[in-house]
Amino acid sequence: MIKEQSGPQRDASGKINPFGLYDPAYEHDSCGVGFVARIDAEPHHHIVQQGIQILVNLEHRGAVGGDKVTGDGAGILIQIPDGFFRELCKEINLPEYGHYAIGMIFLPSDDALRKQCMGIIEKHIQQEGCDLLGWRKVPTDNSHLGELSKAIEPLSYQVFVGRGEIKQDHFDRKLYIIRRMVEKEVKVLKGDTSQFYVVSLSSYCVNYKGLLVGTQLPLYYPDLTDERFISPYALVHQRYSTNTLPTWPLS
């Protein structure tokens, strides 16, 4: 005769015993993630704000370094705010939305190494038949960062890539090839390229992230607080690393 249980039972230490389909062995601490979107798919700045608020609310799900200020990582993924970049980058001749991509790139703080990395990116963009439209240095404010984060902080740049003669439905596949070719070549460069990382390279979304806690993200990237910075969705992540040391690429 099977004895029925009215609910989960705890042992003397307060730990819940296995019950039904539940087993405490499957419990793990992990990162905090969140998603917010408009059903009508209309881009608005308040969606970005709500995404950031999720990060703030999830700050307890992220790890913090020994200086109590350096986070394990936080980021937000949104739709490319086309109007924002058109107004801000008037010197760059942007094609119609969807016919260009934005690459969010972490680059080495060493000038010579940074120029090498940028040259490699430009070379592979052109070799794969796409158009190099221009670069933008992303505004950042590191005054709120912890010393651990600041010590290994890369420079953030955005590269704008036109699809050229590439078919529209092949464009993002080509961007992936560019990214992989660049990563492989940078990896074998002489010098410390640990700061280099392709955060995102896409014709429809862009990712802002860093070795931060959630509250630091909009302070570090002023773009995120601009009213013109709009999106119909926001996917956010607050990192809690259990088996790696925190770095900007892993954030």
Residues catalogued as catalytic: 31
- In angstroms, the Cα distances linking 168 to 42, 67, 96, 104 are 23, 47, 12, 21
